[in-house]
Amino acid sequence: MDSLACNVVILPSEDVAHRAIQLSTELAAKGVHFTLKDGALFPHVSVYMLQLKYAGLDEVEKRLAEIANVVPVLELSVTRYEQSKQFFDAEYEKPEVLSQLQKQVVTTLNPIRDGMRARDVERMKEATGLALENFKNYGWNTIGELYRPHLTITRFLEDQDVSSLSLPPVQEFSGVFTKLGLFEMGDNGTCVRKIAEFELSGR
């Protein structure tokens, strides 16, 4: 195979990442598909999931570096914990600067993506409305209006009664996101290998 499933993400500061890893580790006893780890399964907020050719990764890195150079560090506020399809997330507000970042990334990389991720080909079969249009146009459904920025803490094997869990105040996951990253994706949307990262340095 000459391409791989990738995720363009924003990376949190070390303190937010540490809290996410800590909570993910604590929840592992409930039965989970994965646990976040330092340097292995990286805490992140996805911006654009797409299929990319190995041979084109240098160009992708160049384009992402240019974007990171003009986008400032992002300060994001958490709104709630959310569980959907066993995924357990800290969900964020979507400030205009983050919406614009996604727009820049999608506009820049969509023309050079390599078709669609296999999982999204299947998901597209059941999509309707704007989600279907996003799949057709961008290869991923949560673009623009449907974008829901979140940090996935874990994925349970079975649905959990969130109210029964011992959880820190969700506001602990508010904070700054300092880098734009390109990662190889694993199962459940995890970031399993860092390909490149770039400091957000715009003003």
Considering the chain, what is the average pLDDT of its residues? 95
Q: Cα(203)–Cα(112) distance, rounded to whole angstroms? A: 28
Q: What is the pLDDT of residue 1?
A: 66
Exposed e or buried b for every residue in 121-148, given b needs 16+ CB within 10 A? eeebeeeeeebeebbeebbbbbbeeebe
Q: Please write the tens of the pLDDT for every residue from 44-61.
A: 999 999 999 999 999 999
pTM here? Answer: 0.95
Domain boundaries, the chain: 3-199
Strands (E), the chain: 3-12, 32-35, 45-53, 74-76, 78-84, 87-92, 150-156, 175-185, 191-199
Query: What homologous superfamily is domain 3-199 in, according to CATH?
Result: Cyclic phosphodiesterase (3.90.1140.10)
Per-residue DSSP letters for 140-194?
-S--GGG---EEEEEEESS---GGGS----GGGG-EEEEEEEEEEE-GGG-EEEE
Question: 10 Å Cβ neighbour count for 159?
Answer: 11
Q: Please write the tens of the pLDDT for every residue from 76-92.
A: 999 999 998 899 999 99
Q: Please write the tens of the pLDDT for every residue from 25-40.
A: 999 999 999 999 988 8
